[in-house]
Structure 1
Amino acid sequence: MSTEKRLLSYALKCKGTIIFALVMLSIAVAAELTGPFIAKKIIDDHISGIEQPWYETDKGEHAVAYNGTYYTRAAYLDPADHTNSPVQIMQIGTRFFFTDQPLPTEGERSFENGTLRIENVDGLHESPAIQLSTTDVVAFYEPEIGPIMTLILWFLGIIVVASFFKYGQNYYLRKAANLIILRMRNDVFAHLSRVPVRFFDHQPAGKIVARITNDTEAIRQLYTTVLATFFSSTIYIFGIYIALFLLDVRLALITLALLPILFIWFKLYRKYASKFNRAIRAKNADINANMNESIHNMNIIQAFNQEQARMSVFEKDNLAHYHLQKKLLTLNTLTAFSLSDLLKNIVFVALIWYISGGTGGLLTLGVLYAFVDYINRLFAPVSQMVMQLTTLEEARASGTRVFELMDETGTDVDDETISRPKGLVTFDDVSFSYDEEEYVLKNLTFTVQPGETVALVGHTGSGKSSIMNLLFRFYDPQSGTINIDSVNTKTISPQALRAHMGIVLQEPYLFSGTIASNIAYGKPDATREEIETALRLVGGENVFPNMKDELDSVVTEKGSTLSSGQRQIISFARALLADPAILVLDEATSSIDTETERLIQTGITSLKHNRTTFVIAHRLSTIQDANQIIVLDKGQIIEHGTHESLLRAGGTYAHMYELQQGQAG
């Protein structure tokens, strides 16, 4: 499914709210477009209307007294009342003249020696005339004040209505957009929980965060800004063309030439803008990844005096981002403002040429004003649409990146449960590779009985952590089987399997919250008493003197305000509270000092009691009581036995142990 269709599918989830918002927007646009028509009516029927024929009448509502006689404009009379000869008022500049011999209104006007002259294509027309005083002019305009005020009030009312509906459409459209992004972010985050760990091996955290935050925010702009702009602009353009044809068909036909130009304009803009926007979003993700990496490792950067080197990398990415933005800005400036003004001026020139050439026919001042107003209004939505094409392309590029993440193959999270395993673990001829090329585990075969402790020993890269990754089903082996209680782990959902497994890492990760919430991470419904008991069993009373009060202490991200020993104790308590059938201790004591390790040895014993335990250790002194020790080298088992039997064998394990003992001495 294309990005556009998937974005549409999300919009359809809030289609009721969006449709309601767009209906309100349509009403607001329609109301706004009545403005020039009202202005035309004021100009033609009331301001310029004073030049229409006047007839002698009796005193009345619209009658004006002049030289002892009452006159009423023809617009306020029935045709049957046009019995006597009309009189006329004509304007030249700021002067008004009264004549009882009506003249044509079209042509060049002049007044000299009491004679009013009109010269047009039909010749010269003359009539005696009297210049009106200011008082007389005001008197003749007085009947128009009421209708003009009425129209102005109508116009103000329409503006208020339009503002109300524009507010409504803005509110409901943004509400719908926020709901859409809420669902989209939930879907993306939920999918991340389904994506196998292999995916995160090749994706910097900053880039993933950028997709969930920055890219979805760009998509939100699609629904709030782009959708409203394109919809309102389309209605504007459609409504303006209807108004233009109602005003004058011939002039409106001239403006139709704009449509193919605008279409070509949009096509060319999208072709180049989409390329720039994709590059900008990708570079923005690189910047986020760089910043995320720098922030999380600032202590290492400062310790090795690499601030300037990191700054150089950041400046390089930032400069590349700036140049891409500059290219896009140049494109926007050329296509949006410059081209818009150019086309508008061309239309005005064509309009002036058409009218000045006499081929335009008779145009009233109101029609001309409304036509110019609509032409100006026509290019405003066009420019807005072009400017929003940038946001549209950004949203499309962001949508593509978000949906690429959501298209990653994942494992469905189900509610399947299994009974607590006894803890019989068997690796049968297991081989595994991270990259499908170089195998890190080769033909591994061993069995761990329920309740036993097995230690994995070997140099860095020997495959110890890979065994744990397979056991937790973060990965599956390319060949061979891993069985728990004689059941192939591939037939058990990862969630059901991990519900009975626990792990304590060399560098435990603590989440923002409290000590209590971190201990109860694997069992959120644990009681306060259970949390305190778990902490006590792993030696917490020795590390947290005021244990009850300490449980409510705030933990920052990664637990940076706690010591290594305190973080590890919390990690032990978390594993113990979860009560796993199979436990993994991944070099769990290597990051703490010997004294702290001695304090929590009782806790480690409690943790391993009555459960199958895998221990990865570099300190061989901590695994002497293991039921079996597996020595690995380059993914293969080279030795297998107890501590005493391996020492007697005098092989790799014995050499490693003697070396460590010598170093300790």
Structure 2
Amino acid sequence: MKPQPTTARRLLAYALVYKYRILGSLLVLCCAVGAELGGPFIIKTIIDKHLTPDTGNLAPVFTLLAIYIGLLLIAGVSNFTQSYTLQSTALQIIKNMRMDLMRHIQRIPLRYFDNTPIGQVVSRIANDTEAIRDLFMSFMATFIVSFIQLAGIFVALFILDARLASYVLVLPPLFAIIMYVHLKYSKKYIAVMRARLSDMNAMINESIVVMPIIQAFRREKVTLEEFGVLNEDRYVNQVKQFRVFSLSSRNIVGTIGSLVTAYVIWYFGNQSLLEASISFGVFYAFIDYLGRIFNPIIGIFDQLTNAQRAFVSAEKVFVILDLEGKEVEEADKVKRPEGIVKFDDVTFAYNDGDNVLKGINFEARKGETVALVGHTGSGKSSIINLLLGFYEPGSGSITVDGTDIRTISKQALRKHMGIVLQDPYLFAGDIKFNVSLYNKDISLEQVKKALSDVGASAFIEQLPNGYDEQVVERGSTLSSGQRQLISFARALAFDPSILILDEATASIDSETEGLIQQALKVVSEGRTTLIIAHRLSTIRDANQILVLHRGEIVERGNHDQLMALGGRYFKMYQLQKGEKASLPV
């Protein structure tokens, strides 16, 4: 694998997209700094040349004051312009980064999400990108501004008094050492803080999703204690980091600033005021510029924490962006397949060396219904995951119409597939949207027909807003059976060549199941249908039933053939009918 650029270089690459806007704002910034630094020189001139006792003409004074006010106005307008430009550029950069991250997440294989808590992924997109925004804002709006201001101040100091200005040159290296120590000791605390924030987000997400289980098993106190441990660890590290910041930022800068200012006053008082070798104007200007040195330094210190937090967050974001993904390709012009599905000696493992499928062979032809049955963990869902291209088989091949699906883009593969899951998921939006998913090729009439075919139109038309009824939080206001019917209609509205039902009737009542069975007889006509079922009564009419056990097909045939065989399927059917039977191990 090609080594990735450093985090700093990758952040710089995002900034360079807007290099002309940034350079333009920096030119405006230079105008602002120049206007600000010109003020003390004007006041110095007024003090030295126009405020002596023998001066009677004040016209030059008013002229200089007018110039001074003009410089202040220029500085104000320039500061606003550069600040607005840099801040808006920073927001644009983060918008692009967030879109890149979201776009890449769509390309990452599902295997990554199997091992990563959802809350952590959400934290990367929401929290970590916001922290990076602070970096661009603080770096461009504070660091660069501060360095330009410092450069201008030192130029002014050397113009006023080169000897004393040379003494002040010791300040930048001194503050650089202090910054290095600050960064060294605070980075580890910030890394822990960001990690704990990610863990807390993951736990909050999980707790909300499974809140009924937490309350049913009275785990509220235990969950709160687990969250408290994470929260306390983040608090402790946050306090330690703040302690480092307090000691090394305004505190030490202010102390050094006061000592340097006292030395300058002593220097001028001892050598200049008594000997009258340096004017009062120079004295005023030098003290004014010296006081301005410490504001940029303090600004840099104040932003160091944000910068470190942003770098830690950027590293986590780039870890996701570095994951190998596959491009989301267009599939608009994909020819509709016949739907002939064939598994040829397929072996698959989620973890190396632990095969969950072993030598799977079967073929489902157009218009046929193939049912997969077996106990939990026998490999039924794994077959569906492979067919949908969520995972790649370890060996063997899976073909659709004779074409290996590994040679087909995932979007083209799934374009003519419809799937209904055991736990139906409804999106936030109205009912008609949950069926069409904003597909322009699916009209409202087609949506209504699909809902009617699965028997859902009866209860939908009784809702206050009918097909415009809003679905909230995964459809929690609807019953499980109603949600399942809508998800059936969604699959049917897309008119798939291959229809996949993954335990689709497991969570509905017998009456609703009867409606779906009747609808399926109509919609499966001319389609290849694969059904995962625990309720064996729902697959009696299947053309082929595959009985899986420990990742292998141990029996195959239709219902009557398998019942006559008297094997594992027969035992499972007897158990569900309530008759005494025992399954072979």
**What range is the shorter-chain TM-score in?**
over 0.9
2:271 is paired with a residue whose SS is coil
Structure 1 residue 425: deviation in Å?
Answer: 1.3
| Equivalent-residue separation in structure 1 for 2:291 and 2:438 (angstroms) | 65
Contact 1:583 1:611 in 2 (8 A): yes
Per-residue deviation, residues 394-431 of structure 1 (Å, max 9, x unmatched): 11111111111111110112225532221221111111
Return the offset for 1:494.
0.8
Counterpart in 2 of 1:601?
Answer: 517
Q: Unpaired runs of 5+ in structure 1?
A: 55-72, 74-141
**Is structure 2 residue 151 aligned with structure 1 residue 235?**
no
TM-superposed CA distance for 1:546, in Å, is 4.1
Give the aligned partner of residue 364 of structure 1.
279
Work out which of the residue numbers 33, 40, 46 in structure 1 matches 2:44: 40
Flag structure 2 segments of 5+ consecutive residues without an equivalent. 581-585
Contact 1:540–1:547 (8 Å) recurs in 2: no
- Aligned equivalents of 1:600 and 1:442: distance in 2? 33
Aligned to 2:583: none
Is the CA contact 1:14–1:176 (under 8 Å) kept in the aligned structure 2? yes
1:394 corresponds in structure 2 to 309
C-alpha displacement of 1:547: 7.9
The whole-number CA distance in structure 1 between the counterparts of 2:517 and 2:438 is 22
Residues 525/160 of structure 1: CA separation in 2 closer, same or farther (3 Å cut): farther
Name the structure where strand makes up a greater proportion of residues: 1
Give yes or no for the alignment of 1:445 onto 2:361: yes
Deviations 1:316-348 (A, max 9, x none): 111111111111111111111122022213322
Contact 2:138 2:307 in 1 (8 A): no
- In structure 2, the residue matched to 1:433 is 349
Q: Percent identity over the alignment?
A: 46
CA distance in 1, matches of 2:512, 2:559: 24
Cα distance between partner residues in 1 of 2:112 and 2:440: 28
Distance in 1 separating the partners of 2:440 and 2:379: 33
- Structure 1 pair 314/263, CA: closer, same or farther in 2 (3 Å)? same
- 2:291 alignment partner, one of 349, 373, 376: 376
2:35 matches 1:28: no
Confirm whether residue 203 of structure 1 aligns to residue 119 of structure 2: no
Instruction: Compute the TM-score of the two structures, normalised by the length of structure 2.
Output: 0.94
Tell me the TM-score normalised to structure 1 length.
0.83
Q: 2:564 aligns with which of 648, 651, 654?
A: 648
The whole-number CA distance in structure 2 between the counterparts of 1:352 and 1:541 is: 88
Q: How many equivalent residue pairs?
A: 573
The answer as to 2:546 corresponding to 1:630 is yes
- The question of whether the paired residues in 2 share the 8 Å contact of 1:194 and 1:411 is answered with yes
* 1:513 and 2:429 are equivalent in the alignment: yes
Name the SS for the 2:437 alignment partner.
helix
| Most deviating of 294-303 and 470-479 | 294-303
- Matching of residues 44-443 of structure 1 within 5 Å: 44-47=48-51, 49-50=52-53, 54=54, 73=55, 143-144=57-58, 146-358=59-271, 362-416=277-331, 417-443=333-359
d(CA) in 1 for partners of 2:80 and 2:466? 51
Q: 1:352 to 1:518 in 2, by over 3 A?
A: same
AA in 1 matched with 2:210: N
Q: Partner of 2:309: helix, strand, or coil? A: helix
Q: 1:522 Cα shift?
A: 7.6
String of CA shifts for 1:608-654, please: whole Å, max 9, x gaps.
22111110111111110011111111111111111111111111111
Whole-angstrom distance in 2 between the partners of 1:609 and 1:472: 21
1:558 aligns with 2:474: yes
2:457 aligned with 1:541, yes or no? yes
Q: Measure how far apart 1:215 and its partner are.
A: 1.0
Q: Deviations over 1:549-586 (max 9, x none)?
A: 51111112311111111111111111111111111100
- Alignment deviations for residues 50-83 of structure 1 (CA, whole Å, 9 cap, x no partner): 2xxx5xxxxxxxxxxxxxxxxxx4xxxxxxxxxx
Of the three residues 525, 547, 556, the one matched with 2:441 is 525
Give 1:177 shift.
1.5
Provide the residue aligned with 1:84 in structure 2. none
Q: How far is the alpha carbon of 1:657 from its aligned partner?
A: 0.5
**What CA RMSD, in Å, does the superposition of the two structures yield over aligned residues?**
1.9
Could you tell me which residue of structure 2 aligns to residue 588 of structure 1? 504
Match of 2:394 in 1: 478
Displacement after TM superposition at 1:543 (Å): 3.1
* Preserved CA contact (<8 Å) 1:284 1:321: yes
Counterpart contact for 1:628–1:642, Cα < 8 Å: yes
* Alpha-carbon distance in structure 2 between the residues aligned to 1:300 and 1:151: 77
Aligned to 1:13: 17
Following the alignment from structure 1 to structure 2, what is the Cα–Cα distance between the partners of residues 585 and 506? Answer: 8
Once the two structures are TM-superposed, the CA of residue 294 in structure 1 deviates from its matched residue by 1.5
Match of 1:468 in 2: 384
**Farther-moved stretch of structure 1 (257-266 vs 357-366):** 357-366
Whether the 8 Å CA contact 1:512–1:557 is kept in 2: the answer is yes
Q: Which has the larger radius of gyration?
A: 1
8 A Cα contact 2:422 2:507, kept in partner: yes
Q: Which of structures 1 and 2 has the larger relative contact order (alpha carbons within 8 angstroms, sep 6+)? A: 2
Give the counterpart of 1:610 among 526, 546, 569: 526
Corresponding letter in the other structure for 1:22: L
The DSSP-based 3-state class of the residue aligned with 1:412 is coil
- The 1:663–1:39 alpha-carbon spacing in structure 2 relative to 1, beyond 3 Å, is farther
> Structure 1, residues 245-296: CA drift from partner, whole Å, max 9, x if none?
1111111111011122122223222222332222222111111111111222
Q: How far does residue 205 in structure 1 lie from its aligned partner after superposition? A: 1.0
What amino acid is aligned across from residue 481 of structure 1 in structure 2? S
Cα separation, partners in 2 of 1:149 and 1:310, compared to 1, 3 Å? farther
Secondary structure, aligned partner of 1:176: helix
Q: Is the 8 A contact 1:522 1:575 kept in 2?
A: no
Asked if the contact 2:250/2:301 (under 8 Å) is kept, the reply is no
User: What secondary structure is seen at the aligned counterpart in 2 of 1:602?
Assistant: helix
